């Protein structure tokens, strides 16, 4: 999807719902810097962050310029120019099984001030974003969550998990193969252009990853405020393959007390090939004068334990349901991905908000390509019919949850014998879904 997301009309249902509570629902102009600064202040407050510095506000303006930004305002508040709720959305690609991408709508910056609870604000914002996504032609909407009890009511479901991976340096003895290429120290600013190209290739490898925007690379590499204390602690290395092609990088820091061993920490390891992934992990776990390595938002299916002599040197903690997906157009969404085996399934989907309701036939050929059609009410169901809600469809969409598991939880009904086994094999992905960033 290539268009200005601000060209979509303001959702009248959300506007009317908020007006009944004396609130105003506004689409912000990114060129109105006073209004945008107030919005950024409100977003920081909503996530319990410190008040933003000028450099952070400037970065926020740059990011918001590519997004559709809404605020909710209370004319009776002590500071009526500061929104009491925020949300942002934008069109982007979501990687799906088979190395493909589906048109998606990312939802972010969802906050409601503690002074304005129970006024229907969150519902208006979330349903408004679904309307924006539908009007943009997105097949799915998606978000990352801090509160897991809110978003299911709007049809979202956890579709990709993430974890913190910790390595005990004393127990970490590398037994994996040495990579054929080389790891180089590079300055963050010198890595910036190459990092974008590497990231595009890496994102396409893994279901659940989303297209990156320039601002997130600037933040990961410490380029938003390069003279700040946090940025000056960032070190970056790049992996080049045996042909000299850059295939991966990691931005890391070492936290330590004076004269004490430190801990290697990273939030951003990007690999476009398996060799690059192995080489960067080897570089991290073989650091001297450290007690361990800690990587956040890593896959729950990391290969690292199989590269060390003692797999118990690796522990996974903070395993979370990181990416939540909401199907809006089953025909487009199901047709975009590749499937594990050939077969035919009828899906009867219930959606209380009516975006994805209906009966659909999914026909997968020998090469994993799918054809999807909406069935009318007179069509006879196939023997492998499944009845499920839009949440359950979102959960299985990327291959991170087996349909049979949801059937055991009474979330999917499968009248025909063998249909669950077929669905498990069809929806299986060749790579565990994973999202390695917040958005």
What is the predicted pLDDT for the residue at 147?
86
What is the predicted pLDDT for the residue at 383?
59
Kindly state the tokens that stand for 320. 């979370």
Tens of each residue's pLDDT in the chain, 439 residues: 667 888 999 999 999 999 999 999 999 999 999 999 999 999 999 999 999 999 999 999 999 999 999 999 999 999 999 999 999 999 999 999 999 999 999 999 999 999 999 999 999 999 999 999 999 999 999 999 988 899 999 999 999 999 999 999 999 999 999 999 999 999 999 999 999 999 999 999 999 999 999 999 999 999 999 999 999 999 999 999 999 999 999 999 999 999 999 999 999 999 999 999 999 999 999 999 999 999 999 999 999 999 999 999 999 999 999 999 999 999 999 999 999 999 999 999 999 999 999 999 999 999 999 999 999 877 665 556 899 999 999 999 999 999 999 999 999 999 887 899 999 999 999 999 999 999 9
**CB burial of residue 218 (10 Å; 0-12, 13-18, 19+):** buried
What is the predicted pLDDT for the residue at 328?
98
249 is catalytic: no
Could you give the CA distance from residue 283 to residue 290 in angstroms, rounded to a whole number?
A: 13
Could you give the CA distance from residue 105 to residue 1 in angstroms, rounded to a whole number?
A: 10
Kindly state the tokens that stand for 170. 């004393």
Region of 285 please: left (phi>0), alpha (psi -120 to 50) or beta.
Answer: alpha
Could you give the CA distance from residue 99 to residue 316 in angstroms, rounded to a whole number?
A: 26
What is the predicted pLDDT for the residue at 417?
79
What is the predicted pLDDT for the residue at 382?
57
What is the predicted pLDDT for the residue at 157?
98
b/e code 81-120 from CB counts within 10 Å (16+ = b): ebbbbbbbbbbbbbbbbbeebbbbbbbbbbbbbeebeebe
Which parts are annotated binding residues for acetyl-CoA? 110-112, 118-123, 146-147
What is the predicted pLDDT for the residue at 384?
65
CA atoms within 13 A on the CB side of 105: 30
What is the predicted pLDDT for the residue at 416?
80
What is the predicted pLDDT for the residue at 381?
59
**Minimal CA–CA distance to 438: which of 5, 58, 57, 63?**
63
Residue 171 makes CB contacts below 8 A (sequence gap 6+) with: 308, 310, 312, 313
Could you give the CA distance from residue 186 to residue 151 in angstroms, rounded to a whole number?
A: 41
Domains of the chain (ranges, CATH numbers):
5-155 (3.40.630.30), 163-323 (3.40.630.30), 329-427 (3.30.1050.10)
Tokens 């940025």: give the residue: 231
Catalytic pick from 151, 154, 156, 249? 151
Could you give the CA distance from residue 5 to residue 29 in angstroms, rounded to a whole number?
A: 12
What is the predicted pLDDT for the residue at 402?
98
289 is catalytic: no
**CB burial of residue 53 (10 Å; 0-12, 13-18, 19+):** exposed
């Amino acid at each position: 999807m290539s268009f200005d997301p601000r060209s979509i009309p303001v959702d009248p249902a959300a506007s009317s719902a908020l007006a009944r509570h004396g609130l105003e629902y506004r689409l912000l102009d990114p060129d109105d810097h006073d209004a945008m600064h107030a919005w950024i202040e409100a977003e920081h407050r909503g996530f319990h962050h410190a008040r933003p510095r000028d450099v952070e506000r400037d970065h926020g303006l740059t990011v918001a310029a590519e997004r559709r930004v809404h605020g909710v305002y209370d004319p009776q508040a002590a500071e009526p120019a500061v929104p009491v709720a925020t949300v942002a959305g934008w069109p982007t690609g979501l990687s799906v099984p088979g190395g493909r991408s589906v048109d998606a709508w990312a939802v972010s910056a969802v906050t409601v001030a503690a002074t304005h609870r129970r006024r229907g604000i969150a519902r208006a914002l979330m349903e408004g974003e679904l309307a924006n996504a539908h009007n943009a032609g997105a097949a799915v909407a998606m978000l990352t969550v801090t509160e897991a009890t809110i978003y299911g009511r709007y049809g979202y479901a956890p579709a990709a998990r993430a974890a913190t991976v910790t390595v005990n340096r004393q127990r970490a003895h590398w037994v994996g193969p040495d990579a054929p290429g080389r790891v180089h120290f590079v300055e963050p600013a010198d890595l910036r252009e190459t990092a974008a190209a590497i990231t595009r290739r890496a994102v396409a490898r893994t279901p659940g990853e989303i297209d990156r925007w320039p601002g997130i690379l600037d933040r990961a590499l410490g380029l938003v405020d390069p003279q700040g204390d946090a940025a000056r602690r960032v070190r970056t290395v790049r992996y080049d393959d045996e042909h000299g092609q850059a295939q991966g990088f990691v931005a890391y820091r070492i936290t330590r007390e004076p004269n004490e061993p430190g801990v290697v920490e990273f939030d951003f390891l990007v690999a476009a090939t398996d060799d690059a992934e192995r080489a960067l992990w080897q570089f991290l776990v073989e650091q001297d004068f450290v007690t361990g390595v800690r990587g956040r938002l890593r896959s729950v299916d990391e290969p690292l334990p199989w590269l060390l002599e003692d797999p118990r040197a690796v522990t996974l903690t903070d395993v979370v349901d990181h990416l939540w997906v909401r199907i809006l157009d089953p025909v487009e969404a199901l047709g975009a991905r590749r499937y594990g085996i050939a077969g035919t399934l009828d899906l009867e989907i219930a959606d209380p908000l009516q975006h994805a309701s209906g009966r659909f036939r999914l026909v997968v050929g020998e090469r994993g390509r799918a054809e999807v059609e909406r069935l009318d009410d007179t069509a006879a169901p196939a023997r492998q019919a499944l009845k499920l809600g839009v949440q359950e469809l979102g959960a299985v969409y990327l291959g991170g949850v087996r349909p049979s598991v949801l059937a055991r939880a009474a979330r999917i009904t499968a009248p025909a014998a063998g249909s669950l086994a077929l669905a498990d094999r069809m929806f299986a992905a060749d790579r565990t879904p994973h999202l390695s960033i917040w958005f």
